[in-house]
């Protein structure tokens, strides 16, 4: 029996076909297949065309039809390339303090911030953490996200960080959303570590990462480069050692002060994330490199800070992914589409640039080239919105929720 399925007709299919990885885009570069359908075989897209053409192909290969009752617009399944959704507790108290004028760094210095979440996450069991990832990823799936990156980084001991990665792994095995795990044991130097930042990095390299590799818990590693977290020398040592060991790299860079993005470039990272503080030098360097800049507008909204200079990055010729950064501190909203829509309006991005940032450019930030476009050979991850005009998706700033989500050709 054929495992082929055909899905349609869609009022519009936004394929993202042929769009470049780097640089500015205009909406008229979008390929829009009107009255279209998709043919899916073995979980991958095998054809995108007018519904009429797909109907005859479907008959030929004996595909099952999934007839859509109401008009929908299809986009590639959305990709959230940066989250911290494995955590315990709430930081509503920090939020109130920030809203009243305290800064993120002042709150951290007073004992709140990341350390507060570390204490709560250390106290949680692996099962509780896994459940928290499952609950939050179910919400993401409902928002049209079919691939999500999830970081460790709220335990900051060998055992605690392994507990987080195992919790993420357990959630990952439950599916259907694809979870890409990342090690972030270098989030801050834990207050109870008896040594400096370089000694903590050496401890992680010696004691933590060999176990991660042995148990195949993650292939990606991240570090928060900032005065209150890790300096440039520690970051270079950490990243270059992990690159030699075969890890894919990403960096929390230039959030409050610059320096991290250059380390990301020099160490061959896939992405440099945040970049709110990046200036002309950093923008030009990123544009010349293969590093994908990742904007995290949810953090700007959660902190009341400036946005990543998305417009200037794109105009300089850089790529630009957009992710939610969902975490209990700086980005509690955790809504990719809402934050990306607001960011697009604030930064004067075309809708093609916003959609690229949460589809194939987000995939590239994760080193994935098998998703993010609805073209032949790509995973059949599809998000359907009940409308006839794709612009409504951004115009409604996250309030138009997907009415169907397909993961590898399966309706969720």
Residue ranges binding ligand NIG (CB under 6 A) = 84, 113-114, 117, 224, 252, 255, 299, 325, 327-331
Scanning residues 305 to 334, which ones bind Fe ion (CB under 5 A)? 325
Q: How far is the CB of 85 from Fe ion (least distance, A)?
A: 11
Q: How far is the CB of 137 from Fe ion (least distance, A)?
A: 16
φ/ψ (deg, to 5) at 350: -70, 160
The dihedral built from the CA positions of residue 315, 316, 318 and 320, taken in this order, carries a sign that is negative
Rank residues 117 and 137 by Cβ distance to ligand NIG and give the closer one.
117
Considering CB distances under 5 to 8 angstroms, the limit depending on partner class, which of ligand NIG, Fe ion, none binds residue 152? none
Which residue in the shown chain puts its C-beta closest to ligand NIG?
Answer: 329
Asked whether position 226 contacts Fe ion by CB under 5 A, the answer is no
CA dist 286 and 240 (Å) reads 18
Pairing of strands 32-41, 5-14: antiparallel
Count residues binding Fe ion (CB under 5 A): 1
SS3 360: helix
DSSP 148: E
Rank residues 8 and 190 by Cβ distance to ligand NIG and give the closer one.
190
Considering CB distances under 5 to 8 angstroms, the limit depending on partner class, which of ligand NIG, Fe ion, none binds residue 117? ligand NIG
Considering CB distances under 5 to 8 angstroms, the limit depending on partner class, which of ligand NIG, Fe ion, none binds residue 338? none
Rank residues 211 and 258 by Cβ distance to ligand NIG and give the closer one.
258
Exposed e or buried b for every residue in 148-166, given b needs 16+ CB within 10 A? bbbbbbbbbbbebbbbbbb
From the list 278, 206, 200, the residue with the least C-alpha distance to 235 is 200
Rank residues 154 and 390 by Cβ distance to Fe ion and give the closer one.
154
Considering CB distances under 5 to 8 angstroms, the limit depending on partner class, which of Fe ion, ligand NIG, none binds residue 324? none
Rank residues 187 and 373 by Cβ distance to Fe ion and give the closer one.
187
> DSSP string covering 74-105, please?
EEEPEEE--------S--HHHHHHHHTT--HH
Question: Which residues are paired to 80 by β-bridges?
Answer: 148
Helix (H) / strand (E) element for 56: namely helix 51-61
Pairing of strands 5-14, 73-76: parallel
DSSP 237: H
Considering CB distances under 5 to 8 angstroms, the limit depending on partner class, which of ligand NIG, Fe ion, none binds residue 255? ligand NIG
Pairing of strands 402-407, 410-411: antiparallel
Q: How far is the CB of 299 from ligand NIG (least distance, A)?
A: 5
Rank residues 334 and 402 by Cβ distance to Fe ion and give the closer one.
334
Rank residues 179 and 299 by Cβ distance to ligand NIG and give the closer one.
299
Q: Under 8 Å CB-to-CB from 199, ≥6 apart: which residues?
A: 193
Considering CB distances under 5 to 8 angstroms, the limit depending on partner class, which of ligand NIG, Fe ion, none binds residue 201? none
Q: How far is the CB of 331 from Fe ion (least distance, A)?
A: 7
Considering CB distances under 5 to 8 angstroms, the limit depending on partner class, which of Fe ion, ligand NIG, none binds residue 278? none
By CB under 5 A, name the binding residues for Fe ion. 325
């Amino acid at each position: 029996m054929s495992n082929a399925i055909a899905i349609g007709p869609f009022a519009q299919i936004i394929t993202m076909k042929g769009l470049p990885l780097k640089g500015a885009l205009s909406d008229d570069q979008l390929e829009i297949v009107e009255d279209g359908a998709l043919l899916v075989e073995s979980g991958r897209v095998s054809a995108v065309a007018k519904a009429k053409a797909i109907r005859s192909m479907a008959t030929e290969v004996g595909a099952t039809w999934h007839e859509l009752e109401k008009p929908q617009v299809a986009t590639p399944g959305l990709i959230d390339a940066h989250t911290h959704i494995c955590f315990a507790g709430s930081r509503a108290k920090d939020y109130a303090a920030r809203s009243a004028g305290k800064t993120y760094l002042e709150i951290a210095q007073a004992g709140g911030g990341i350390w507060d979440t570390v204490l709560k996450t250390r106290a949680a069991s692996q099962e509780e953490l896994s459940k928290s990832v499952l609950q939050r990823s179910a919400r993401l799936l409902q928002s049209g996200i079919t691939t999500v990156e999830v970081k460790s980084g709220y335990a900051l001991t060998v055992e605690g960080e392994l507990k987080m990665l195992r919790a993420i792994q357990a959630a990952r095995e439950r599916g259907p959303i694809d979870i890409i795990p990342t090690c972030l044991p270098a989030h801050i130097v834990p207050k109870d570590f008896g040594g400096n930042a370089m000694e903590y990095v050496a401890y992680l390299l010696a004691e933590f990462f060999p176990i991660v590799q042995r148990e195949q818990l993650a292939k990606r590693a991240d570090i928060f480069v900032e005065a209150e977290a890790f300096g440039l020398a520690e970051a270079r040592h950490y990243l270059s050692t992990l690159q030699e060991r075969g890890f894919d790299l990403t960096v929390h860079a230039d959030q409050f002060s610059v320096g991290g993005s250059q380390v990301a470039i020099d160490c061959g990272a896939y992405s440099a994330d945040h970049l709110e503080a990046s200036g002309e030098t950093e923008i030009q360097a990123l544009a010349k490199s293969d590093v994908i800049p990742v904007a995290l507008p949810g953090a700007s909204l959660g902190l009341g800070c400036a946005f990543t200079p998305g417009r200037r990055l794109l105009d300089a010729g850089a790529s630009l992914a957009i992710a939610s950064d969902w975490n209990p501190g700086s980005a509690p909203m955790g809504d990719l589409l809402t934050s990306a829509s607001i960011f697009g309006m604030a930064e004067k991005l075309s809708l093609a640039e916003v959609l690229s940032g949460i589809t194939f450019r987000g995939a590239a930030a994760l080193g994935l080239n098998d998703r993010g476009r609805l073209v032949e050979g790509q995973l059949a991850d599809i998000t359907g919105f009940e409308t006839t005009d794709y612009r409504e998706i951004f115009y409604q700033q996250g309030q138009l929720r997907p009415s169907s989500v397909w993961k590898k050709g399966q309706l969720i």
